[in-house]
Amino acid sequence: MPKKKTQATPPKVVDPEKVFLQACFFDYSSCVLEDAFMVRVKRMQAAADAFEVTAAPLPSSPLRVARTFHGKKWDILPPTLIPSLVNGAFAIELYLKTLVFLDTGKMPTGHKLSTLFNSLSHARRKRLAEIYTEEFNKDRLLVHERNVASDKGSYDLLPQLIRNDDTFVAVRYVYELSAWTGNTMTVLRNAARRLCGEIKPGWRRLQNALGKRPTLQHR
């Protein structure tokens, strides 16, 4: 008997609007978690001051907090620190995948942020770099950090994407890491989200439906 022909499985149709919304979910939750742990950090600093404990001032951004505590007492880490970094990294990935889809009509795979960025057209990469610079310059601590750095170019968009290529995977297993790199995840997230909104203004309703974005206590 002749063999029956097997029908090829049709490719899944991906809705970029849903991918963008998923990115917004992780973005929003990262803000909530950041806000929660920075409140706790401030309370810890206040307690230290009250008892006149000699210590360096606690840093004022998620990754600076991580660097301060890394290799020390894990039981005093704000419990929402690591989840906020994981969610933030995943949000960046999904925003970039949305941008690639809007450019090419195909949904990319993989986690590496620099690879996703390099899949964009020159015009999109240029515009994202411009927005990133605008967002970066809003953070006076990052600006100061860059200004005193020996390699100021390492704070540009592509080097920071490369430094955070494996953050989503690595931070989930943070106990295996010897160090953290990069302070610009919030900036990267904001820049990628803004560019999505420029290309698809109608999608801003999705952000509005989530409610007002949490205001970080350390900002």
Q: What confidence score (pLDDT) does residue 55 get?
A: 41
HSE-CB for 92 with a 13 A CA cutoff: 32
Tokens linked to 62: 């998620």
The residues, any chain, with a CB within 8 Å of residue 83's CB and separated by 6 or more, are 33
Question: Cα-atom radius of gyration of the chain, to the nearest Å?
Answer: 20
Q: What confidence score (pLDDT) does residue 123 get?
A: 97
- Quote the CA–CA distance of 24 and 109 in Å, as a whole number: 19
Helix 185-199 to helix 16-50 angle (10° resolution) is: 150
Which sign, positive or negative, has the C-alpha torsion 115, 116, 119, 122?
Answer: negative
Q: pTM higher than 0.85, yes or no?
A: no
Q: What confidence score (pLDDT) does residue 108 get?
A: 94
Q: What confidence score (pLDDT) does residue 59 get?
A: 43
Q: What confidence score (pLDDT) does residue 219 get?
A: 42
Positions of the chain with pLDDT lower than 70, given as ranges: 1-11, 37-78, 177-183, 214-219
- CA–centroid distance for 165 within its chain: 11
Of 103, 105, 89, nearest to 15 by C-alpha is: 105
- Quote the CA–CA distance of 55 and 186 in Å, as a whole number: 27
